Amino acid sequence: MGTAVTETGAVGNRPGVARGADYTVSIEISNESGVEVDTDAICQVARHALSEMGVHPLADLSILVVDESYMAELNHRWMGSKGPTDVLSFPMDELSVGRGPSTDEEPVAETMLGDIVLCPVVAAKQAATAGHSTADELHLLTVHGVLHILGYDHAEPDEAKQMFGLQKSLLDSWRRERTP
């Protein structure tokens, strides 16, 4: 069976948060894949991306880690595609989340951002092709999913340039923060 963890974390002094406030986006993660993954790191990179994008700290995000069979089912049901994919995002309150840092310090009602679904088996295959670790691929896919939750897309060349540029920037800044 899978494990579910609810995490909140204090990062402090992020854009859109009153000075001195804790950044406590609530992230619930459930690993139902049968594959061991570092759920703490997945939550950390998601929280970093959300804070850097100026998402209000009262927001909630759900992350589900699944096996290939369930991912293939979701991919067919929601995207009309056959077989498993690496990541799917299901935004909930798309219109209530802004892009980029907010300067408004007024309290905002709690917002459920949506769900990100990751498949570590597909991530492992992609990681081998890309020449990096499965963990690195899952971090990339998590940031990719967060950006989709926030309304970014890569269907058009200009959109892809913006989204993949943000994805790289967010991953790079998260990795710098983790390096002692």
- Is residue 144 annotated as involved in ligand binding? yes
Question: Residue 72: how many CB atoms within 10 A of its CB?
Answer: 18
- Is residue 154 annotated as involved in ligand binding? yes
- Is residue 56 annotated as involved in ligand binding? no
**DSSP alpha helix (H) spans, the chain:** 39-52, 68-74, 120-130, 134-149, 157-178
Q: Which two tokens mark 176?
A: 């710098």
What is the rounded CA–CA span in Å between residue 58 and residue 50?
11
Q: Which two tokens mark 81?
A: 């595609």
> Residue 119: which of 5, 6, 48, 35 has the closest Cα?
35
Q: Which residues are annotated as a binding site for Zn(2+)?
A: 144, 148, 154
Q: Which residues are annotated as a binding site?
A: 144, 148, 154
